Structure 1
Amino acid sequence: MLVALALLGVVCLALGGFSVRLLLEQRRQAALIAQQATQGAALELRLKELGKRLESYQRINVRMGEELGELRKQVANLPERLARLEQRDPASLSFSQAARLAGMGASAADLTQACGLSQAEADLVARLHRGRPQD
């Protein structure tokens, strides 16, 4: 009987130790779950912020595309306009000379002074021929 009581005491101590170990493991798991929940909330917030930024970039991209289309429409007819201007009166307006000077880096003011062009004409020639290699 004494042996059975001793054996029962040892089993009770083992069960008590096992219960304490399970309790500590449960607390560790609860702390880990709480930490992951906090990290998950922070990640969710970060994802929302990044989503808003992405939407903003997309709106900007669309606007830039629309503006680029408008600029293409405006610039599309410039070579034709220049050709018409060059054919207008070659004696008084030296557009080919202005084009060569613009290709060499002359400013619109230089073209106005050297070739007798109006400011608008000089701007147009300078923009069309700036940085082009000479023929």
Structure 2
Amino acid sequence: MIWIASLAVALAVACSVLGYACHQLSQRLRREVEAQASRDALRDQRIKELGRRLETYLEGSVRMGEDLHELRRLVAPLPDRLTQLEQRDPHSLSFSQASRLVGLGASVDDLTQSCGLTQAEAELVSRLHQAGKDRG
């Protein structure tokens, strides 16, 4: 009989220890779940911020592409226009000579004074020369 009572006490102690261990593990698991939820929320916030930044960069790239397309559209007819201008007045200093002067560092004002070009023509020659340098 005594051994049954001591066995019962031992089982009660073992159950108490196991109950306490389960309680401790449960609390630890709850803390880990809360910590993971906090890390997940932080990660999600960072992902959203990175998404917003990426969207901003993409919008900038699209605008830059549109601007580049517009510039190409504006610059494309310039070589033909220069050829037309060169053929227009054979008695004035040629536009190819003006282009050479720009290559030597002549300003727009220099071209208008020395070549008899209008301000717009001198700017055109200067820009074409600059565009040629940028491509080459």
C-alpha separation in 1, matches of 2:83 and 2:11: 106
Equivalent residue number for residue 109 of structure 1: 109
1:97 aligns with 97
Aligned-pair Cα RMSD in Å = 1.9
Corresponding residue for 1:47? Answer: 47
Distance 1:35 1:105 in 2: 68
* Partner of residue 15, structure 2: 15
User: How many residue pairs are counted as aligned between the two chains?
Assistant: 132
Quote how far apart the aligned CAs of 1:4 are. 2.3
Which residue of structure 2 lines up, in the alignment, with residue 37 of structure 1?
A: 37
Using the alignment, how far apart are the partners of 1:96 and 1:90 within structure 2? 12
What TM-score do you get using the length of structure 2 for normalisation? 0.83
Quick one: which amino acid aligns to residue 119 of structure 1? Answer: Q
More divergent stretch after superposition (114-123 vs 73-82):
114-123
Q: Which letter does structure 1 place at the counterpart of 2:16?
A: G
Unaligned runs of at least 5 residues, structure 1: none
Unpaired segments of 5 or more residues in structure 2? none
Higher mean alpha-carbon deviation, 121-130 vs 96-105, is at 96-105
In 2, the alpha carbon distance for the partners of 1:107 and 1:38 equals 64
The percent identity for this pair of structures is 51
